Amino acid sequence: MTELWEPTGPGVLRLPSGRLVRGRGLRHPLPAGPEPTSGVYLLGRPPPPTTWPAQWLRWPDFRLPADREQARSVFADIWERAATERMEVACGGGRGRTGTALACIAVVDGVPADRAVAYVREHYDRHAVETPWQRRYVERFTTG
C-alpha cells in the first residue's frame, strides 16, 4: 500500500473525509519528502516533465478550466484516488487555479459549495481562489 501524504506536510489539504491532497505552485521548489503517486497540472500549456504520472488540465492563469466537464471528471478522480494515493494538484503559483481545484474537490468530498472557498482558505492557503469568477465557479460547482 502507498504511504499517503504527511497531514502536516507543506501544501497538504485534509478534506473532511480525512483524504489528503497536496496543492503546490510549480514556480516553487518541490517540497521535501515522497513524490506524488500522480499529479494534475492546471496550466495554459503542457506541464514540465515529472518522474511520476501526470495529467494536464488546460487552465489558463487567472481563468477557469477550458473544459469544465473534463475538470469535473478530473476532480472526482483526484478525490477517489486520494483515498489510497498521494495526489498532487498544482498550477504556477499554487493559489488561484490550485485553490479553485481544491475547493471543487472539497465539494466532491461533501463540503457545501458555498463554503468550499472558505474551507480551502482556512485549511490550505488564505489567499486561495484569487478571482471573483473562480469563486463563482466553486459556488456553482456540482458533482453531477
Return the CATH number at 50.
Answer: 3.90.190.10
Reported as a single tens digit per residue, the pLDDT across 13-31 is 999 999 999 999 999 999 9
Residue 1 lies in a domain: no
Query: Does a structural domain hold residue 124?
Result: yes
Residue 6 in any domain: the answer is no
Q: Is 121 within the bounds of a domain?
A: yes
Give the pLDDT score at 49.
95
Number of domains in the chain: 1
Which range marks the domain in which residue 41 is found?
A: 16-139
Please state whether the predicted TM-score (pTM) of the whole model is above 0.85.
yes
The pLDDT assigned to 126 comes to: 97
Dihedral over Cα of 87, 92, 96, 100: its sign: negative
pLDDT at 1: 54
Residue 144 lies in a domain: no
Whole-number pLDDT of residue 144: 73
Please report whether residue 127 resides in a domain. yes
Q: Is residue 5 part of a domain?
A: no
Low-confidence ranges of the chain (pLDDT < 70): 1-2
| Residue 114, in any domain of the structure | yes
